[in-house]
Amino acid sequence: MSQQVGRVETLFVHGVGDEYLVAAIRDGTRLFHARLELGTTDAGPRPAAFRIKEGSGEEPRSPDQFVEIARRAGRIRISEQTSRRDRDAIREMLSGYQLDAKTVRTCRYCASAGRYSPITSETAIAADGETICPDCARTELERELAHHDVSSTAGDRLQELLTEVQDLERVVNLLSGHLDPDLTKFDEMSATTESVDPVPVGDLDLHPGMGELLDDRFETLLPVQSLAVHGGALDGEDQLVVSATATGKTLIGEMAGLDRLLRGEGKMLFLVPLVALANQKYEDFSDEYGHLADVTIRVGASRVRGDGERFDPDADIVVGTYEGIDHALRVGQDLGDIGTVVIDEVHTLEDDDRGHRLDGLIARLKGYCEDRANAGAGGSETNAGTQWLYLSATVGNPRWLAGRLDANLVEFEERPVPIERHVTFADSQEKARVANKLVRREFDRESSKGYRGQTIVFTNSRRRCHELSRKLEYDAAPYHAGLDYSRRKTVERQFADQDLAAVVTTAALAAGVDFPASQVIFDSLAMGIEWLTVQEFHQMLGRAGRPDYHDRGVVYVLVEPDGSYHSSMPGSEDETAFKLLKGEMEPVAMRYDETSAVEEVLANITVAGEGAKGLTDRMVGEVPLKHAVGKLLDYGFIDGLEPTPLGRAVTRHFLEPSVAFTMLDGIRKGTDPYDVVADVELRDEEE
């Protein structure tokens, strides 16, 4: 036996009941695994039986062979998990042969399998009231992960946490939605400051009406506002302003637009992507500037709002949605002399569904402003100078976009408060419980500014908004585009008065509706049946924490392992979570498929006729003009470079060609209108 074994580096002994497991180790490899029994003699404990494990059986050997192997070993170690009585018996037995042994801390799992795995305080992992080695802990964690169908990306994150916290149970508990902040915390986006010389409000060359308003509110401008002023915002310069949420971008547009308006240089258009945001801006502007100017609102195709107020195209300040103003252009409405256009949330250009419409709107509105100026200048080609200000918190390639928009870039990277980002795992049933606990915890906390913590919960459907808000113990309300105007205003007021601990919403709030929340919870990482983009994710999490209200922002991403919301969605929610957390902002890149190209070229022809090519050429995206014109002719939407009655109806109602033909087919067949609508909706679902 000893001739076969040769040199033994470590002889490891682990007590199990009345027997001892023995392993001979050389160069980290186990040479053999055996069982040892001790017997009592007049000289003390001595080897009584020695059996070598081979395959599934055991081969008896002479007890003297154990003694010979022990004498050959470089060192003998006894597992700390062996009872004190058994450790004493082994030492007494070895001392009878002038051998000694040290007790070492080892992994019980390894020791039970005859493996020698010494562990230290730096490597030990707590598990079931004891400590095990990292390899065994990883194996146990992998078993748990297999039960939850966790992606490899999420699994890697949990393995990292296991090494960091050295506690298997704490890490496994994350899979059941346990909120252990030391483990859920993914990172912290630190508050950052950028040195900018603040511009005193009193030094601004503003119209007295605007100057008095600002004097009453501020002594100096905020950094991004100061940068914009230094860059010519009050001198008529076009600008793309990119800065984080709550850094004061909106006031740049207000200052420039109101100043030009009061100086008789044309009205201000303030354009936003969503009705909810337009309503809020309209209310704000009416309250703040109503004594200086007439304010009106234009959303969608309707000229009458839900509260009965009519759109006034002659008003001094027009707040509108992109589609609302675009519709006015498509039907040939006179918007008057426009001095300033503010495009808020200009990163919407990157949106696959709506980006092409914003791109087309900007081109058509620029064409309108220039035609108006030329007509007013007696046909001169000199542009009277409508000022364009584009605002965004998130743009992946701001220099490129500024170049395409022919605007100066004002970029400010300050984050006014730090934001902690957390990830925890929960299935669809557990998410409500976790969200409830987070909302309660945050609302019970008060900032140094005296404000209670409030939460925005983002989810992927209107139905889920109502379902989840009902499950929250503290006062909460759903908020989405399906609510009527008065209900949305009520929710906004209740949140502002701190009567609500949370609002549960879809994408509406991501675009900037002013809810000063300290915490953002992602109940879902999807909007509808599509995963969020990095840009959308950053836009939404940026709602957490406001410098005038909170000391910090908190973001919780609730992830369902292997979760998805539609069979067409690539990957799973846990994979998506870490892509979003680690991902870089996508560049704004306009992508025109045939449908979007046809829609925008038809709108350009409707608005500009033979000037449509000029409008199309100035768009941010590359539009295949000739191909689109060919399709429009095939469809019967245009005759030459004039829209047909059918084409005019299609563009006025923002219809895709396929939708238009579905409706036409139903009308020609005499199909009930409700069935036609159902066919259109089913077609969208199938797509």
Question: Three-class SS string for 476-495?
Answer: EEEECCCCCHHHHHHHHHHH
CA–CA separation, 540 vs 680, rounded Å? 31
Which is more confident, 56 or 685?
56
pLDDT for 105 equals 83
pLDDT for 54 equals 78
Task: Name 272's bridge partners.
Answer: 321
- Chain centroid offset of residue 220 CA: 33
pLDDT for 308 equals 47
| pLDDT at residue 377 greater than cutoff 70 | no
CA–CA separation, 366 vs 652, rounded Å? 19
pLDDT for 468 equals 95
- Across all residues in the chain, what is the average pLDDT? 87
CB–CB of 270/342 below 8 Å? Answer: yes
Highest mean pLDDT among 147-161, 314-328, 363-377: 314-328
pLDDT for 379 equals 42
| pLDDT at residue 209 greater than cutoff 90 | no
The residues, ordered by sequence, that sit 6+ positions from 428 with a Cβ below 8 Å of its Cβ are 560, 563
What integer is the mean pLDDT of 109-117?
74
Closest CA to 100 of 120, 64, 70, 80: 70
Strands 455-458 and 502-505: parallel
What integer is the mean pLDDT of 106-134?
81
| pLDDT at residue 339 greater than cutoff 80 | yes
N residues, the chain: 687
What integer is the mean pLDDT of 102-114?
79
User: pLDDT band at 127, cuts 50/70/90?
Assistant: confident
Helix axes 645-652, 594-608, angle to 10 degrees: 110
| pLDDT at residue 158 greater than cutoff 50 | yes
Percentage of the chain beyond pLDDT 70 is 93
Q: Which of 194-208, 226-240, 455-469 has the least mean pLDDT?
A: 194-208
pLDDT for 17 equals 64
pLDDT for 149 equals 75
pLDDT for 686 equals 47
| pLDDT at residue 508 greater than cutoff 70 | no
pLDDT (tens digit per residue) in 410-464: 998 777 789 999 999 888 888 999 999 999 999 999 999 999 999 999 998 899 9
Tokens of 323: 């589609």
Q: Which of 3-12, 220-229, 332-341, 450-459 has the least mean pLDDT?
A: 3-12
| pLDDT at residue 65 greater than cutoff 50 | yes
End-to-end CA distance of the chain: 74
Query: Measured between alpha carbons, how far is residue 79 from residues 47, 87, 101, 137 in Å?
Result: 18, 8, 10, 18
CA–CA separation, 283 vs 78, rounded Å? 78
pLDDT for 56 equals 75
Tokens of 373: 């100026």
pLDDT for 119 equals 83
Taking the model in full, what pTM does it have?
Answer: 0.74
User: pLDDT band at 4, cuts 50/70/90?
Assistant: low
pLDDT for 309 equals 59
| pLDDT at residue 3 greater than cutoff 50 | no
Helix axes 657-668, 673-686, angle to 10 degrees: 150
Q: For the purposes of burial, counting CB atoms within 10 Å of the CB of 573, is it exposed (0-12), middle (13-18) or buried (19 or more)?
A: buried
pLDDT for 304 equals 43
CB–CB of 523/431 below 8 Å? Answer: yes
User: pLDDT band at 306, cuts 50/70/90?
Assistant: very low
Percentage of the chain beyond pLDDT 90 is 46
Q: Which of 4-13, 392-401, 619-628 has the least mean pLDDT?
A: 4-13
